[in-house]
């Protein structure tokens, strides 16, 4: 240790000698990275709310009465309403009931909560694919100049409700997971990781869209995600997202089973008294001293 510390006790070179606190911080980040990576693909389904779901709504009957028409871009509010109604119900009713069964403070563990959100995202993409197939068949069977299917936009509500449950479990679960598993002085990094997962989910969605555009296009047929969704196969893309979600869920189950939650004792900045000997050693030497007398 001589030469590694200054006279005042500070470290001379941070690259040669680090504190235990720094080591634990790196271990904390490394331990949560697999869970964070799984959350990126879990958010990919949510990224479709502002893209293809809006395209579907524009090709459906959005009238409520003779004079009012629902804006296509406002359908995402359905998910927000579901979150606003479900979260208080979950916290006030579901958690106390589950706590009696599981003996867990939160009713279920944080990783279980995230996994349930991933299941909802998979189901929502399957439902979206089924609804899109029906919408496309109705639109092609009843051609119109604008390609609008004689089908109410409310058919999109089930997938939006499921996406709302996905957000209520997945997003809130990840936020709580990062904030509980990171030390107090690393909460800003935890929040940054959560925000980065949203950004990377949109990048992954863009990569999938670009790949589908280039792979599925042929000379006789347009690609799945052509601008005219009545001629494309948007339902196949939703099924693709559901398949990716299933693979991601399998990966998440694998890493979550091997994850160990942070203990209740956090790293303390204040120096602690260390026990330099075992209890047997402590009892042995006083006894030996008395026998020598």
DSSP-assigned states of every residue in 182-212: S-GGGHHHHHHHHHHHHHHHHHHHHHHHHHH
Q: Which of 157-171, 189-203, 251-265 has the highest mean pLDDT?
A: 157-171
Both tokens of residue 100? 């009696």
Cα(25)–Cα(32) distance, rounded to whole angstroms?
A: 11
Angle between helix 110-141 and helix 157-181 axes, rounded to 10 deg? 160
pTM equals 0.80
Q: Which residue has the higher pLDDT, 292 or 246?
A: 246
Residue 80 has pLDDT above 50, yes or no: yes
Give the count of beta carbons closer than 10 Å to the beta carbon of residue 151.
19
pLDDT tens-digit readout, 152-162: 999 999 999 99
Report, as an integer, the average pLDDT of 160-168.
93
Give the pLDDT confidence score for residue 133 in this predicted structure: 94
DSSP 117: H
Look at the block and give the residue holding tokens 């942070």: 262
55 Cβ contact list (under 8 Å, min separation 6): 229, 234
Residue 6's pLDDT band, with cuts at 50, 70 and 90, is low
Residue 54 has pLDDT above 80, yes or no: yes
Q: Give the per-residue SS3 of 157-190.
A: HHHHHHHHHHHHHHHHHHHHHHHHHCCHHHHHHH
| Averaged confidence pLDDT in the chain | 81
E-strand ranges in 2-139 read: 60-61, 63-64, 68-69
Both tokens of residue 282? 């402590």
3-state secondary structure of 82: helix
Give the pLDDT confidence score for residue 17 in this predicted structure: 55
């Amino acid at each position: 240790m001589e030469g590694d510390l200054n006279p005042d006790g500070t470290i001379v070179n941070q690259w040669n000698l680090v504190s235990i606190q720094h080591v634990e911080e790196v271990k904390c980040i490394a331990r949560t990275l697999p869970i964070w990576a799984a959350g990126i693909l879990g958010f990919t389904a949510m990224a479709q709310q502002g893209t293809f779901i809006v395209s579907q709504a524009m090709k459906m009957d959005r009238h409520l009465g003779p004079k009012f028409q629902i804006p296509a871009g406002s359908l995402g509010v359905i998910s927000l309403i579901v979150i606003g109604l479900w979260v208080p119900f979950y916290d006030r009713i579901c958690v106390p009931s589950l706590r009696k069964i599981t003996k867990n403070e939160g009713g279920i563990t944080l990783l279980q909560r995230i996994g349930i959100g991933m299941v909802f995202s998979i189901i929502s993409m399957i439902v979206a694919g089924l609804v899109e197939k029906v919408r496309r068949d109705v639109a092609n069977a009843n051609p119109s100049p604008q390609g609008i299917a004689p089908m109410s936009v409310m058919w999109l509500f089930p997938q939006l409700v499921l996406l709302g449950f996905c957000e209520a479990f997945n997003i809130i679960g990840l936020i709580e997971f990062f904030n509980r598993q990171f030390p107090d002085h690393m909460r800003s990094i935890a929040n940054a990781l959560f925000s980065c997962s949203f950004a990377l989910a949109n990048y992954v969605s863009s990569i999938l869209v670009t790949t589908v555009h280039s792979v599925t296009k042929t000379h006789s047929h347009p690609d799945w995600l052509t601008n005219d969704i009545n001629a494309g196969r948007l339902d196949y893309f939703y099924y693709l997202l559901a398949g990716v979600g299933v693979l991601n869920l399998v990966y998440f189950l694998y890493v979550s089973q091997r994850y160990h939650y942070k203990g209740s004792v956090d790293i303390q900045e204040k120096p602690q008294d260390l026990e330099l000997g075992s209890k047997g050693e402590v009892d042995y030497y006083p006894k030996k001293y008395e026998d020598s007398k």
